[in-house]
């Protein structure tokens, strides 16, 4: 296999998600900010990633912690100023990194000037910038749609006698993307940030942006269970994933491409066969439609192998895969799997074909964090208590060292720290060759040094019981990855080439051997030049 084209930076790159509220506080208010992120760029660069994705930093009432945007072309004072942003961006680039922003186009804050105008009267010029409807013939909401945060997706406005649509909180009214003026205004937003030098965007809930004409009722979900949360009572057939959204994605892509080597990542929570449409239909779509399958995949070798093979087979010609295993919305990897398997998961994520996205703190093995009832901040948890839907547990501050407040802030952090922060922090782990942080750094180093791991093809070797084995290869080398997903030793079902060289493993090893120890993963070169 020979690759002749020059791959864009993001194909061999690794994205690192920073949740700004929880990364580093520079001014002692207990909340992270842009200057704090700048202070920690040496850490991010030394980790070995290629790009930083920032969760929203825009002016916001913070009802949903920045995903309710009141000004798309500014910086919330909580995080700093536009000058702070420009300084951060310059510093990011000076570290050889790239910076992606979180673009939230489906909805704004109800405090955005556009919405304040829109709700002023039925004949306001911006009325149609949002989705307003009369009550149903018998009274009540216009249809049966349910908010992703629970409850009706419609909010009554007494002053104008109509309902407005909100797919999330009532403080997050949905924009009307069928209105050309909305498209033009939001395109200007993207252009504003591209002109400042950002390297791309992660596009929030891209699949939500267009609603079906006529806004018909969504059908009932025949497989609904209460523990799934209220939003899944219905199948979101008419409220999401409409064909016209691909025209919007194509327009975003054309704009990004006009600025050169820029990246668009789309948040799309849909089945794989539907997800693939977001790479583009008649015209190119987003570069990377986020692949979230590892977030809740059954942790069994055969299940993972089948999922990987099906995903690879579904990719359109020329499309590049990507993998996500942790995020600000999902439980921590180590909380789901335990630290021993979190190490194996790290090796899986960073050796599969495609662009991986890491979430801050997962490289430290942060596990379960209990949030006391009086410290809960997540509106999703507050609206549906006891459902286990809270996201605060994944947004706790980064523990940097063993000093007060883990070096995150001089004040009490806005959320509790992980309970073992005095032992599980950056300073402690970076000096421990056996730490999970050291493993992540070594995996990222090997990925960068190996052409096969960075851009090579994928081939399944074995998926039996708790053993998963696959090869990554190109015309220069073949690397084999063997993962033990169990707490007992497993014999490898193949003979070792005497010339095979261990590249990286979850456990220290003196020799290769034909057994994987419990919870062990290793990657070794079967052929090619000696390791760098």
Query: Do the strands 467-473 and 478-484 form a parallel or antiparallel pair, or are they unpaired?
Result: antiparallel
Residues 6+ apart with CB under 8 A from 6: none
Neighbouring CB atoms inside 10 A of 16's CB total: 23
Query: Do the strands 515-516 and 490-491 form a parallel or antiparallel pair, or are they unpaired?
Result: antiparallel
Q: How far apart are CA 498 and CA 128, in angstroms?
A: 70
Q: What angle do CA 96, 443, 472 make, to 5 degrees?
A: 105
328 neighbors 396 (Cβ within 8 angstroms): no
Q: How far apart are CA 411 and CA 307, in angstroms?
A: 45
31 neighbors 25 (Cβ within 8 angstroms): yes
Q: How far apart are CA 80 and CA 62, in angstroms?
A: 15
Among candidate residues 325, 426, 394, 434, the one with its CA nearest the CA of residue 42: 426
**Of 267, 378, 392, 429, which one is the catalytic site residue?**
267
Q: How far apart are CA 355 and CA 265, in angstroms?
A: 11
Q: What angle do CA 267, 39, 91 make, to 5 degrees?
A: 70
Among candidate residues 418, 324, 408, 427, the one with its CA nearest the CA of residue 21: 408
Q: How far apart are CA 330 and CA 412, in angstroms?
A: 24
**Of 174, 204, 362, 378, which one is the catalytic site residue?**
204
- Helix (H) or strand (E) holding 194, with range, is helix 180-196
Among candidate residues 173, 518, 480, the one with its CA nearest the CA of residue 340: 518
Longest dimension (CA), the chain: 79
Q: How far apart are CA 410 and CA 142, in angstroms?
A: 50
Overall size of the chain counted in residues: 532
Angle between helix 82-94 and 180-196 (nearest 10): 60
Q: Which residue has the tokens 């409220």?
A: 239
Q: How far apart are CA 496 and CA 181, in angstroms?
A: 63
**64 among known catalytic residues:** no
Rounded to a whole number of angstroms, the distance between the first and last alpha carbons of the chain is 22
**204 among known catalytic residues:** yes
Which residues are catalytic, by number? Answer: 204, 267
């Amino acid at each position: 296999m020979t690759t002749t084209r020059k791959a864009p930076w993001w194909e061999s790159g690794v994205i690192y998600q920073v949740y700004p509220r929880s990364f580093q506080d520079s001014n002692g208010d207990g909340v992270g900010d842009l200057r704090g992120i700048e202070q920690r760029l040496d850490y991010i660069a030394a980790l070995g990633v290629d790009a930083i994705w920032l969760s929203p930093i825009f002016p916001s009432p913070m009802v949903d912690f920045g995903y309710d945007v009141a000004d798309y072309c500014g910086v919330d004072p909580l995080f700093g100023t536009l000058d702070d942003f420009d300084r951060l961006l310059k510093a990011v680039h000076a570290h050889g990194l790239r910076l992606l922003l979180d673009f939230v186009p489906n909805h704004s804050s109800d405090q955005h000037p556009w919405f304040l105008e829109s709700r002023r009267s039925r004949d306001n010029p911006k009325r149609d910038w949002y989705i307003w409807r009369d009550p149903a013939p018998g009274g009540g909401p216009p249809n049966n749609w349910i908010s992703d945060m629970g409850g009706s997706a419609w909010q009554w406005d007494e002053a104008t006698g109509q309902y407005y649509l909100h797919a999330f909180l009532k403080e997050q009214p949905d924009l009307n993307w069928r209105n050309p003026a909305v498209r033009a205004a939001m395109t200007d937003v993207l252009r504003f940030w591209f002109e400042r030098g950002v390297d791309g965007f992660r596009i929030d809930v891209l699949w939500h942006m267009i609603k079906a004409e006529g806004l018909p009722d969504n059908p009932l979900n025949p497989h609904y269970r209460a523990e799934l949360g209220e939003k899944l009572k219905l199948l979101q057939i008419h409220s999401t994933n409409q064909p016209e959204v691909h025209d919007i994605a194509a327009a975003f892509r054309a704009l990004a491409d006009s600025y050169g080597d820029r990246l668009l990542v789309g948040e799309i929570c849909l089945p794989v066969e539907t997800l693939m449409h977001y790479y583009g239909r008649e015209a190119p779509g987003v570069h990377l439609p986020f692949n979230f399958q590892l977030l809740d995949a059954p942790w069994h070798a055969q299940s993972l192998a089948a999922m990987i093979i099906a995903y690879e087979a579904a990719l359109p010609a020329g499309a590049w895969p990507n993998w996500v295993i942790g995020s600000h919305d999902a439980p921590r990897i180590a909380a789901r799997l335990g630290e021993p398997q979190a190490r194996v998961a790290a090796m899986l994520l960073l050796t599969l074909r495609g662009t991986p996205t890491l979430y801050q703190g997962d490289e430290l093995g942060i596990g379960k964090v209990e949030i006391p009832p009086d410290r809960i901040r997540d509106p999703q948890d507050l609206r549906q208590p006891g459902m286990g839907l809270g996201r605060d547990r994944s947004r706790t501050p980064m523990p940097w060292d063993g000093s007060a407040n883990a070096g995150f802030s001089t004040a009490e952090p806005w959320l509790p720290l992980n309970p073992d922060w005095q032992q599980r922090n950056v300073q402690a782990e970076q000096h421990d060759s056996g730490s999970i942080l050291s493993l992540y750094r070594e995996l990222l180093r090997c990925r960068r040094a190996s052409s096969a791991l960075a851009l090579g093809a994928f081939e399944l070797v074995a998926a039996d019981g708790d053993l998963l084995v696959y090869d990554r290869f190109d015309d220069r080398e073949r690397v084999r990855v063997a993962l033990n997903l169990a707490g007992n030793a497993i014999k490898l079902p193949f003979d070792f080439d005497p010339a095979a060289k261990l590249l990286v493993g979850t456990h220290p090893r003196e020799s290769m051997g034909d057994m994987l120890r419990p919870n062990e993963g290793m990657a070794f070169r079967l052929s090619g030049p000696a390791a760098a």
